[in-house]
Amino acid sequence: MSRAPAPHMVLRPRLSTRMQEKRNYFEKNFPIWKEGVRRIILERIGLELDDIHDFPYASNFENGVNVEEMSEIIMNDLDEMSEFLGLIEIKGNKEEP
C-alpha cells in the first residue's frame, strides 16, 4: 500500500532528458540574453526594462528572437505608444515642426 505524500510536499513530474536540457539552456542563457536587451534599451533611451511595461521576453527568447530584434520590438512599441499619447519621439527619427 502506497502512502499519500505529506500535504506540504509538492510532487513534480520527472522531466524527460530533452525537457531538462531545454530548461537548463533557458536558465543559463535567458538572463544573459535579457541583460543584452536591457543594455541596449538603457543606452538608446535611458530607461531600465523595469521602467517600461512588460514584454513577452521569455517567449521571444524561446522563439529565437535575438537581442537586437527584441530591442527593436521594444523601441517600435514605445515609439507607437508615445505617438498615440502625443509624447516625445522615442527613436528620434521625426522632423521637428
Cα–Cα distance measured from residue 20 to residue 89, given in angstroms and rounded to the nearest whole number: 44
Report residue 78 as a C-alpha cell: 514605445
Q: What's the pLDDT tens digit per position in 36-90? A: 999 999 999 999 999 998 999 999 999 999 999 999 999 999 988 877 777 655 5
* Residue 14 in this model has a pLDDT that exceeds 90: no
- Whole-number pLDDT of residue 97: 44
Question: Is 93 a residue whose pLDDT tops 50?
Answer: no
Could you give the CA distance from residue 37 to residue 94 in angstroms, rounded to a whole number? 24
pLDDT at 94: 46
* CA dihedral (26, 64, 21, 15) positive or negative: positive
Residue 39 and residue 59: Cα distance in Å, rounded?
Answer: 19
State the pLDDT at residue 82: 77
Report residue 22: phi and psi, to 5°.
Answer: -60, -45
